[in-house]
Structure 1
């Protein structure tokens, strides 16, 4: 991630509708998980999700975060997360095993994603669950991916295949951010035309507070539908998997 964008990311990640609605979905999924579960957040950024888990009742001594960014981990420490470490997500070397692993928008940053999944599985307890979110569809590739230093975007089938190759059992898989797929697609295609010579930009910003609130409510509503449906496309895709052995 480019340095200027990283600062912008840390400035908006707490209140931006995208991050907030995804954290909300994950928190809803983990609401009934044992509160003594050991949790690893891969690509933890400033530790906001880990702080949310504390508010949900999880024990802070069992919450761990790793991120490649020294600034992110410094923010984590400042936010009261003691078990936060600067590490490459392809080579996590913690001497711990985890009941729950979260990897939100992390895998696409890694050159060898299959090696990373192998590493993550080795950290997961038998019976443990892993929640993996990634950006979807190369047709949505834009300057946003470039400034974020993405290597790729995924279809749901591609993500499933990589996880199943490590004998991880799929519990649920779907696309996410279904309702905004078409507007995002059009926006990024138009941006490619009108901003093709610009660098170092991303479409992550809070913008108008009212718009941010409306988009948050829309995706929170979509989150509720995900309890019943799997969506056929979206801006992101995810899998929830379990280690059987």
Structure 2
């Protein structure tokens, strides 16, 4: 991730609508997980999600995080997450087996996603679950992906295929952030058309009213995802289980 953008990222990740609504959806998915589950957050940033799990009653000593950024892991330690390590998400070497692995917007940063998925599967216990979120649709590619140092974006089927290639059983697969797909698509295409030689910085909404509205909008989507799968969205995700 671009250093200046990472600094901004750490400033807003606690309250920005995107990060908060994603974390709330994941927390809802994990609300019934046993409180002694060993959980690994890949691309853990400052450890805010792990702290949320701790508040829900999960044992701190069973919460682990990895991130390629030294600053992110420094923040984790300051936030009380001691099992936090600077590691490449493509080659995690923690000598543990996990009941749950969460990789939220991480796989797209890794040059060889197949090697990464194989590595992650090896870190899972049998019957363990993995929750993988990635940016969706190459047609949404923009300078936002450049400053975030993405290698690719995915369709739902592409993500499923890469996970099932490692014999992981799909429990749920959908798109996420459905409502904003069309306006974001139009905006990104327009900026490319009108500013061909002036790449735009990654967009982080800081207006409090807009932040509140977007957060409430995605909360509604999160609730709908309990019953349906969206046909498209800005992100896609897959929940899988290790059966062997």
Please report how far the alpha carbon of residue 200 of structure 1 lies from its aligned counterpart in structure 2 after TM superposition.
7.3
Say if 1:101 and 1:129, in contact at 8 Å, map to a contact too.
yes
Say if 1:176 and 1:233, in contact at 8 Å, map to a contact too.
yes
**For residue 18 of structure 2, what is the aligned residue in structure 1?**
18
**For residue 201 of structure 1, what is the aligned residue in structure 2?**
201
Question: Measured at CA, do residues 56 and 225 of structure 1 come closer, stay the same or move farther in structure 2, by a change above 3 Å?
Answer: same
| 1:1-245 matched pairs, under 5 angstroms | 1-199=1-199, 201-203=201-203, 205-245=204-244
Please report how far the alpha carbon of residue 112 of structure 1 lies from its aligned counterpart in structure 2 after TM superposition.
0.2
Say if 1:5 and 1:200, in contact at 8 Å, map to a contact too.
no
Deviations along 1:44-83, one digit per CA (max 9) or x if unpaired, are 0000000000011110100000000000000100111000
Please report how far the alpha carbon of residue 197 of structure 1 lies from its aligned counterpart in structure 2 after TM superposition.
2.7
- SS of aligned partner of 1:34: coil
Say if 1:99 and 1:127, in contact at 8 Å, map to a contact too.
yes
Instruction: Give TM-score, length-normalised by structure 1.
Output: 0.98
CA distance in 2, matches of 1:200, 1:88: 28
Deviations along 1:58-112, one digit per CA (max 9) or x if unpaired, are 1010000000000000010011100000000011000000000000000000000
CA distance in 2, matches of 1:196, 1:118: 39
CA distance in 2, matches of 1:222, 1:201: 27
CA distance in 2, matches of 1:137, 1:200: 19
Say if 2:191 and 2:200, in contact at 8 Å, map to a contact too.
no
Indicate the larger mover: 118-127 or 206-215: 206-215
- SS of aligned partner of 2:173: strand
CA distance in 1, matches of 2:45, 2:193: 31
CA distance in 2, matches of 1:37, 1:191: 45
Deviations along 1:214-236, one digit per CA (max 9) or x if unpaired, are 10000011000000000000000
CA distance in 2, matches of 1:197, 1:120: 39
- SS of aligned partner of 2:92: coil
Please report how far the alpha carbon of residue 190 of structure 1 lies from its aligned counterpart in structure 2 after TM superposition.
1.4
Say if 1:12 and 1:206, in contact at 8 Å, map to a contact too.
no
Structure 2 regions of 5+ residues with no counterpart? Answer: none
Please report how far the alpha carbon of residue 199 of structure 1 lies from its aligned counterpart in structure 2 after TM superposition.
4.7
Superposed CA RMSD in Å reads: 0.9
Say if 1:17 and 1:216, in contact at 8 Å, map to a contact too.
yes
CA distance in 1, matches of 2:199, 2:81: 34
CA distance in 1, matches of 2:197, 2:47: 34
